[in-house]
Structure 1
């Protein structure tokens, strides 16, 4: 497995996607479009004496009970490829990180490697790892220095799916 060079334009686009819902810098400098007034009449406000609807079963509580935490696990990517493929480039903070990968393919296993996206040849991070293709979780632990990272996978078969979560 040889390190791959990522195209600068792709890195910029992926960095913008990883940055979240913030508006791009070019849109921030453009003048805002004039506001329009809706022609439909507004609905009357609900009476103050109306009882609040009870929360539905399984609904997440609102307010301070659901504070976002930097180490909360979430799905990082769900990618499909034929033979070999890459995860999206992820913006990762400095520190300890744990990732769980699950794979589904018509093979026994696939091989993966984490890379630090850099200018020129991207350096490998840690050792190559094997992920079973029976959706059994493979947990990986890294101490990362921050920046942009991506996974490279090789399965050798078509219709390979890899799902990763972590924090």
Structure 2
């Protein structure tokens, strides 16, 4: 009697995290903004587009730009907190904690360039899983009545 060869099937249960889910990814949005005249004048004098300023601010406030200095990120976050965005839903302390957690993710990302391809793939899956978890954890912190999909509006 011949012995059957067993077939090994490798299943990657984390395959869905290979790419970040569309709901949690960066995306382009068309915005129709009223630009104050003084800001337009200043931008024209300094030869900088308002869109570039807004884009830089968004990337810096969340540690999304690897080229941003710590001072730039801290300044953007200070403005964010001073303007009281997200308050009173979240305390200043909680928002600062969110910033620290995003900084930790950026710090880890900055260490991956010497990883081999397989380790990098595993790292990115983990990062994508973590960002989804991070969003849901903070979203549910204040027992919001909306569904997670409210993210689609932003």
In proportion to residue count, which structure has more strand?
Answer: 1
TM over 0.5: no
In proportion to residue count, which structure has more helix?
Answer: 2
Q: Which structure ranks higher in relative contact order (CA pairs < 8 Å, sequence separation ≥ 6)? A: 2
Please report the TM-score for the alignment, with normalisation by the length of structure 2: 0.30
**Structure with max Cα Rg:** 1
